[in-house]
Structure 1
Amino acid sequence: MKRRSFIQKTALSSGALSLTGALSYANTFTNTVNAHLFNLKYAPHLGMFKHLAGDDPIDQLNFMADQGFTAFEDNNMMKRDIALQEKMGEALVKRGMTMGVFVVDKGGNMENTLAAGKQEHLDIFLDGCRRAVDTAKRVNAKWMTVVPGGYERNLPIGIQNANVIEALRRGAEILEPHGLTMVLEPLSDSPDLHLQTSEQTYLICKGVDSPSCKILYDIYHMQKNEGHLIHNMSLTWDEIAYIQIGDNPGRNEPTTGEINYRNVFKWIHEKGFDGVLGMEHGNSKDGKEGEQAVIDAYKHEDNFL
């Protein structure tokens, strides 16, 4: 996936990340802003509101909470300094926010493909799972994204799927004792990716047969790869543990593309989904105006009751 990394240099003059200062910021905003009550747990990421909230990650978390967002996701959490992970975890608890996904560090999306059945690729993946457990504990996370890797063209697809299933079973053995869940994400970035559709991901999850291996249904990618969003989510619903958002074309906030997100959100809500919907997209406009447009778009599309 062509994921964006939005974190910037801290705006604090001392160059340190101060939790005390962040909480002071939170108190100021909480007294002046009426947080919107969303029907679903939409999760912004760092950088999405940097012009309105400032560059400091803790300030950004507090700003998200002040707007009414009750979740947060961070693809790059495993790569962040441990001290920052701990501070972010503390801030999320204080603001009552649910931590969404971070990406298991196993190399890039096309690298170390589990479909190949190679021991060296499996070892890198399992090491990433072990390290992910420690990260999850620091930030109170439950879900982590896994992309199995590239398509292994010298093997039949059935053999590739079997290799992926076997590798994920090993990963699930690491995560299960801690109550953690890896969520598999089919992507649209390249035809060389092994995992591309919800039905294939469903088959693999059934093969792994573990509460620690479920589907991440990214609406943007699945609109590109297969369409029929509500129909395909319905078919695979019992294995979907996490959802991500992005309109198509453009991969920006809802209302900027062709997807009827109000209807999709309404269907998800009616299914009783109480998990996280990650806002894994860009802003269609720059600066404060663009950031406010993202907030307004979610208020608009969430108004389905």
Structure 2
Amino acid sequence: MERRSFIKKSAAAASLTGMGITSVNALTKTSKTTFSSDPFKMKFAPHLGMFKNHAGTDPIDQINFMADQGFTAFEDNNMMKRDVALQTKIGEALAKRNMTMGVFVIQKGGNLKNTLAAGKQEFIDIFLNGCKNAVEVAKRVNAKWLTVVPGGFQRRLPIGIQDSNVIEALRRGADILQPHGLTMVLEPLSDSPDLYLQRSDQTYMICKAVNNPACKILFDIYHLQKTEGHIIRNIDLTWDEIGYFQIGDNPGRKEPTTGEINYKNIFKHIQNKGFNGVLGMEHGNSIEGKKGELAVINAYRETSNF
């Protein structure tokens, strides 16, 4: 091989390796692919289905694939809906691979249903029962954070009354979770104007009023970019009550680098502030199939390269 040709091919291979994903036979145009196994510097948490084209449909195989690519956390919104045997297997797989379990959702009937803002005892009971059931699930998978969406806005009630109803219900929920070392993380959403909880400052106020370490903010960057923007500023303003982050670019709710959010700057800011918790990858893949799964991994390698 001529020296000039060798140098060009070596430079191309080095470029691919530097992106964190190495196409083993890129120069011979085959489809065989391997990945960097270096652990990510932050606890990014994929979810089931995100890498199914590479890992298959079995949940444990998917978790092992995530770990093999350097992911050190995992989240599953639907964990409470899964059977006990699978919950136990997931917990064992995470422990074996030294992965941190991220959030799962406390089941209370849906994001807009059984709203705590209404102050109705039947709704509060559904929520508190969900907290009690979540304790047992959390033990199986070694979870520490549980997502709570308070429900819908009540247009016939003054906002101060709604706030009081939500705060009181969350205090009771926190009293259930705190003795077990669990933290509910409240998620402001952008999905509907009928939701009660939509802004980071509002969530911050509620956490302060609940006044319990078992109640913190789930700062979903995708949702809060849509509702308020100023992501870094609002992270700073609410920092002492943030317990968890979730990720998704806007528009589209896909992986970082596909939209308008400068995730490299945000990740660097979060890490520089000392955050060592989980950042849930609550988004879809912008491209279908294996190519799209590679794009997701590459996006996180790129945006955490600082």
Whole-angstrom distance in 1 between the partners of 2:66 and 2:219: 23
TM-score, scaled to structure 2: 0.88
Alignment partner, residue 117 of structure 1: 119
Secondary structure of the residue aligned to 1:83 is helix
Whole-angstrom distance in 2 between the partners of 1:231 and 1:71: 26
Whole-angstrom distance in 2 between the partners of 1:202 and 1:303: 30
Pick the structure with greater CA Rg. Answer: 2
Whole-angstrom distance in 2 between the partners of 1:157 and 1:182: 22
Match of 2:142 among 125, 140, 145: 140
Alignment partner, residue 69 of structure 1: 71
- Output the amino acid matched with 1:174: I
User: How much does 1:38 deviate?
Assistant: 1.4
Secondary structure of the residue aligned to 1:148 is coil
1:39–1:269 Cα contact (<8 Å) kept? no
The aligned runs of 1:227-266 (5 Å cut-off) are 227-266=229-268
Whole-angstrom distance in 2 between the partners of 1:279 and 1:255: 13
Whole-angstrom distance in 2 between the partners of 1:50 and 1:100: 19
Whole-angstrom distance in 2 between the partners of 1:33 and 1:291: 11
Alignment partner, residue 50 of structure 1: 52
2:39–2:72 Cα contact (<8 Å) kept? no
TM-score, scaled to structure 1: 0.89
Alignment partner, residue 287 of structure 2: 285
Alignment partner, residue 155 of structure 1: 157
User: How much does 1:37 deviate?
Assistant: 2.7
Match of 1:81 among 76, 80, 83: 83
Alignment partner, residue 274 of structure 2: 272
Whole-angstrom distance in 2 between the partners of 1:147 and 1:33: 36
Secondary structure of the residue aligned to 1:216 is strand
User: How much does 1:158 deviate?
Assistant: 1.1
Deviation readout 1:26-62 (Å, 9 max, x if unpaired) = xxxxxx8641231210000000000010100000000
Task: Name the % identity.
Answer: 75
Alignment partner, residue 181 of structure 1: 183
Match of 1:35 among 37, 41, 46: 37
The 4+ residue runs of structure 1 with deviation greater than 2 A are none
1:48–1:282 Cα contact (<8 Å) kept? yes
Secondary structure of the residue aligned to 1:93 is helix
Whole-angstrom distance in 2 between the partners of 1:140 and 1:274: 17
How many residues are matched? 273
Whole-angstrom distance in 2 between the partners of 1:39 and 1:76: 26
- Output the amino acid matched with 1:166: E
The aligned runs of 1:172-211 (5 Å cut-off) are 172-211=174-213
Whole-angstrom distance in 2 between the partners of 1:180 and 1:289: 37
Whole-angstrom distance in 1 between the partners of 2:127 and 2:203: 18
Unaligned runs of 5+ in 1: 1-31
Whole-angstrom distance in 2 between the partners of 1:293 and 1:81: 32
2:264–2:305 Cα contact (<8 Å) kept? yes
1:185–1:215 Cα contact (<8 Å) kept? yes
